[in-house]
Amino acid sequence: MTHEEPQEARPEAQADTAPGGTAPAPAPVTVLGLGAMGTALAEAFLAAGHPTTVWNRTPGKAEPLVGRGAVAAPSPEAAITAGGPIVACVLDYDALSSVLSGQEAALSGRTLVNLTSGSPEQARAFADRAAGIGLHYLDGAIMITPPGIGGPDASVLYSGAPEVLARHRTVLAALGEPVDLGPDAGVAGLYDTALLGLMWSALSGWLHGVALVGADGVRAADFTPIATRWLSGAVAGFVGRYAAQTDTRTYPGDDASLDVHLAAMEHLLHASRARGIDTTLPEVFADQVRRAVAAGHGGDSYARLIEVIAK
């Protein structure tokens, strides 16, 4: 990554020397991919005043953005060379590779911020390929759905070339709070997959609860405020305490032991079966607890299950 960024330097230098000598003018940016997420990204850049160039495989999706001030590039090459960092958000890494295929010369010396979802291994392989053509590469994972982009709950995890995030932090902050996870390009995707697993566990747990109380006539709208308070307060507190236990591999059962958890899980299983509700989810965590208890750890905290899960 020793190449300079000659064509990006011009607009960004202009931005730093804005007339009046006060705040610099918003820097230019390019968005590749205008699906639901790419469109939201481009809208956020435009809303923050950044001159925004857009490109999409299906050109019609650019039209509403052009109506709001974006410039539609006629080709990937024109988009890549428009100036400013290139923010890519297409379906997957194969799609991105096909968009960038044959563009190595145009990409050399540029900056690519890849917000396309993928595995840590794909991100690391892409970073290696980028280094081989002198492309400055930052990988990212968007932790919000399109309607939340640019809003107070939006954050984007970044990992890869640290100088890229430092140089373009102001532009990227238009999307959501930038979270720097360091120089290994695979780490943003690693956190992303782990956090999605956490989200699915929480969503399915909540839906199981909705089904359970719903069987006795309780509306989801009545159950949910109690559930979200439980999640954001008590459950978040358990996680914070157990993080230290998993790191030190010591699991004092001084709050609630696995024996106590297992007894409560049997109640959940019983109540679910009595109402004809699918028990796949509670069987999974009851199975993990039973194995830990059978191995003699019934007096330990819930964090002991890391030994079952991580093996």
CA pair distance 294, 17, nearest whole angstrom: 69
What six digits make up the tokens of 188? 């943003």
Query: Residues 116 to 155: which contact ligand NAP by CB under 6 A?
Result: 116-117, 142, 145-146
Contact assessment for residue 202 and residue 224, using Cβ atoms and an 8 Å cutoff: no
Q: x/- binding map, residues 54-93, to ligand NAP, per CB under 6 A?
A: --xxx--x---------------------------xxxx-
Q: Which of 28, 33, 160, 298 binds ligand NAP (CB under 6 A)?
A: 33
CA pair distance 169, 113, nearest whole angstrom: 11
The answer to the question of residue 288 lying near ligand NAP (CB under 6 A) is: no
The answer to the question of residue 99 lying near ligand NAP (CB under 6 A) is: yes
We find the least distance from the C-beta atom of residue 29 to ligand NAP, in angstroms, to be 17
We find the least distance from the C-beta atom of residue 197 to ligand NAP, in angstroms, to be 14
| Binding region for ligand NAP (CB under 6 A) out of 34-42, 150-158, 226-234, 255-263 | 34-42
- Our CB check for ligand NAP shows the closer of 117 and 159 to be 117
We find the least distance from the C-beta atom of residue 98 to ligand NAP, in angstroms, to be 5
The single-letter DSSP state of residue 175 is T
Alpha helix stretches (DSSP H) within 216-302 = 220-230, 236-248, 258-274, 280-294
Q: What is the DSSP string of 179-233?
A: EE--S-TTHHHHHHHHHHHHHHHHHHHHHHHHHHHHHTT--HHHHHHHHHHHIII
Residues of the shown chain interacting with ligand NAP in the complex, contacts defined by CB under 6 A: 33-38, 56-58, 61, 89-92, 95, 98-99, 116-117, 142, 145-146
